[in-house]
Amino acid sequence: MTVAVAAPHPDAVEAARAVVADGGNAFDAALAAAAALTVAYPHQCSVGGDLVAMVRPAHSPVRAVLSIGAAARAVDVAALGDRMPVRGPQTVTVPGVVAGWAAVHGLGARLPLGKLLAFSVRLAADGVDVAPGLRAAIAAGSDVIRADPGLSAVMLQPRLVQQALAETLAAIGRDWRSFYTGPIVAGVRALGSPLAEEDFAAHVAEVGDPLRTVVGGVTWHAAPPPVQGATFLAVAGSRSLLADSRRAQSARDAFLGDPRSGPIPLSNLLLRTPEQASPVPEPRPPSAPDRMRRASGDTVAVTAVDDEGNAIALIQSVFESFGAGLLEPSTGVVLHNRGSSFRLDPSHPGHIAPGVRPPHTLCPAIATTADSVIALGCQGGRAQPWILAQLASEVLSADDPGELVARPRWILRGDDLMLEPGVPVPPGADGLTVTTVPGPHDDAGHVQMSRSRSGRLDAGSDPRADGLAAVLP
């Protein structure tokens, strides 16, 4: 078995290498890498976060895996005031990563889950060096870390030794369902969250059909709401990418929410209504209390394809750096703050309500042709759709995936446009605040790409992160 894999940390690729050597396929490699990242990159992902993946089993249709946790059934919306908190226990929704791993595993992994997590168990117990990206996040988030005893006990070490997390990962490997009935439940409540046993027990990963569009003979697959996959599909292949991204951004902010709580107008998200063919939106007024914040997002993407035709783009996240600013000490689990994406306006599709999932930024994608498959994903928060769209037209034709994902990019966030060096101001920037940064920037995303092109495997890992791409063994 030969597997191409890309991930934002070297230990993730080493975890993938170990399971491929034991006979694992692309799904095994991606799961092993994802688990290692919860140990080595805790500022960006954790078993206390959510997961979205696009999965293409060999010779089968692409499937979308959405393991997105819901708000507590006992959430007191009135007590939240006029704005969702940024961090803290009220922003913690049910963690979806573990159920997401299990769902991906069930779509065609070869090895037992416990074997896939063995590398990560050892990594957590033995310790891992602090990577440059994590070191920068610790420096930037020192106030958040020092405010929480759990985070400060782990993140301020010269080397990350996480014995409690090692035990949690080992327990997940023996029986993943135990995570949703184990000590994390009482631990989260002890930190002040309204999440209860019934909230954890009710969590199920969705496995269903993706959204699709065809651009230049390539079929793109992305996840449905509450994920912003439709926003990516709206701009993939656009000839007026910035202008269309501004329209898509406005549509997403207005219409994205959980289909479980009411109908979501896909045609609006996909920019397929007549009114959305009008000029780009006017610059928006200063932030109202309920307006979506412009968090950059702390997230990891792992991509893998193999020589049998299996392919996966997997993203897991704590949303913002160190998530809710809470590490549950009995399990060693960093908790995400995905609930901060909820709206408080009850008329908005993304409003908070008991058992409802928040609007989601994770945006993995898979592209297919008759003889090729490309798995693509990135860190980048709400900018993920236009980060990926700037690469989409060349993912099949580019000679070197590593060079493609390293190219300078622009980033749209609200009414701000950030340019990396060498990027000209694109058409459609009227009314935006334009800034050119001095070098490659984290906010431009950490893109991971794996590809099988006419039977030849290759991969590229974004140099903005600390990762690697490899063809294994």
Structure tokens at 221: 């697959």
Q: What is the distance in angstroms between the CA of the first residue and the CA of the last residue of the chain? A: 8
Known catalytic residues?
A: 299
**Do 218 and 96 touch, CB atoms closer than 8 A?**
no
- Backbone φ/ψ region at 280: left (φ over 0), alpha (ψ -120 to 50), beta: beta
Cβ atoms within 10 A of the Cβ of 44, count?
31
CA-nearest of 455, 450, 307 to 370 is 455
Report phi then psi at 375, rounded to 5: -105, 130
Query: Helix (H) and strand (E) counts for the chain?
Result: 15, 20
Regarding beta strands 206-208 and 63-67, do their DSSP bridges make them parallel or antiparallel, or are they unpaired? antiparallel
Q: What is the DSSP string of 29-92?
A: HHHHHHHHHHHH-TTT--TBSEEEEEEE-TTS--EEEEE-PPPPTT--SGGGTTS--SSSGGGP
Q: For tokens 């002890």, name the residue.
A: 190
User: 309 near 452, Cβ under 8 Å?
Assistant: yes
